[in-house]
Structure 1
Amino acid sequence: LPPSLAAGAAMLRRRGRVLIQMLSSPSASTSSPLHRLISATRPQVNARSSILSSPRRLLSGATAPVVSPNPSFAVEEYLVSTCGLTRPQALKASPKLAHLRSAANPDAVLAFLAGRGLSGADVAALVAKDPKFLCAGVDKGLSPIVAGLSGLGLSDPEMARLLSLAPHKFRCRSIVAKLHYYLPLFGGSLEKLLRAINFNTNLLCCKRRVEPNVAFLRECGLGDGDIAKLCSSIPRMVTANMERVRTMVALTEGLGVPRGSGMFRHALSAVAFLDEKKITAKVDHLKKTVGWSDAEDYWLQHQRKVGHKL
């Protein structure tokens, strides 16, 4: 070849080697204009065949689908806007209802309460006292209880009062059996029973303790009417443990007031939950004031006036 042509061919070979070296080098920049130009002219690989030929890349590059969680039920706002609680009350009650995800069950409970005649203020007070009442089942829980109480003769207004006094006890089915036990003790008077429950709601949860105490007081000569009065004047007496009640009776007898006497209930009321030292001090005061021979009559009259206080 002529020298000029030989020199041109040599230059082309050198450029070709440089180009091949650049394309085959692992450090070649994929962002270079040359690489982009070459890539643009390459045939595109089918996406499906690429995935099938590289399962590892599929597994390593795949990400779990993002599932947007359902927005949580705004319990605090519901308590304020729907149930009528104040903001501080709702703030205090809302942790007990944190598991709720919708207003479906609370709405059913509110409809149930409205059907029993409770006003908005009554409902707000009830929910503030017992937030979990909103979680009670209506069909399988509250409705059978209402049917049982209706069978005992309670009207809707009377059930509404019971609901307001002890909502956490009302949602327990055992309340029907408990009222069935207490009503005869209170002479069939629901008004007297509700008054006693107002003083001590434990009457509705300590029936196993109350029954032996009532049986023991009957053995002491007290009639059901006297025991019902004790439930109202000293509600804790019949729900106390048996040993404490026996101690009260022993202290009463120690004062010279025998079982079965007309003064026994009043004396028992006087010594209830007092220790022996306090009783002795009060009796000594009576001895000095009215004389021991007149102490019994004085005590009887005094107890009839002021109840269980000396």
Structure 2
Amino acid sequence: MREKILDLLSGKKIDSQPAFSGLIHVTAEGLQSEGLIFHEVHRNAQKLAKAAASTFKLSGFPSAVLPLDLYVEAEALGAELNFREDRDFEFPQVKHAGLFGSAKELVERLRKSSQLEDIRSLGRIEKVCEAIKLLKKDIGNDAVIGGMIPGPYTLLLLVVDVKNMFIEMKKEPQAVTDALVLLSSFLADVGTAYREAGADFITIHDMGGSPAFIGPGKYEQFVLPAEKLLIEKLPEPNVLSVCGNVTGSLNLLAQTGAGAISLDQTVDLAAARLALRDTLLFGNLDPVETLFRGDDAEIRESIVRAKDAGVDAVWPGCDLVIRTPIQNIKYMVE
């Protein structure tokens, strides 16, 4: 299955529609099977690799993804994280929003800084690269390894005062555009580092930059050019993951240049297939109602529906709920 998925990602025709994911799909059962505590894994390469491999080892689901949170790049830029030591199976969060007071401030600081010249030295980036190498050595002959980065607009939301940024989008749009260009180049460097460490493909998880959330007009003005730049700079293959009901904006997504686009359960897949004729289409099982709460019959029905709509691969619509039963993931494999 690994070879089939790699063929698919490279643009070759394959004889089936595989189920895998480029989004976070670690589970509580998997962590427990390896004796891991979730809040500890993010800062330890060995534990991170073991956690990422655990879903494949328990279910045969032929993929693993690192990192296991969306905040590595925000932390690398200076954001302080809460790793949720007081909670079981909770993802990290940015402690204080608004590391930079505005997009303009971010641009000024980054242009003056020489930090981004050696991105591996920033935050946990080198640890993630080391974990990818370990993961590749462990299960890389049998499963595809994905590296995950946020989209440029999603990263901007994590490090800039959002209220001020929204004002800038109206009054100083060039400052926001400049910030997104800088972040796109930074993210491309991170994605390249993950690929060099052994990731087979990169997923751009642009949750905050979806046209479903920001609106088609602002998406076209701000996000689309930044995503295009990022995709141009990233080594192939890559997948753009977009959240929300983007059925009305599929024509814009088709312009990103992404090799594949992953859509969630709110999207009309038949319409997406028509709009994305030249792009691989991945999706779109509901990670909550179907994969977390659903049963065998519901999961199989969702898989059939996605395949009948013409997806090239069956993916969860977003990151898995960490308490998703391993048995439900096995149903996807079967």
Give the TM-score normalised by structure 1.
0.19
Q: Tell me which protein shows more strand as a share of its residues.
A: 2
Give the number of the structure with larger relative contact order, counting CA–CA contacts within 8 Å between residues 6 or more apart: 2
The structure with the larger Rg is 1
Q: Tell me which protein shows more helix as a share of its residues.
A: 1
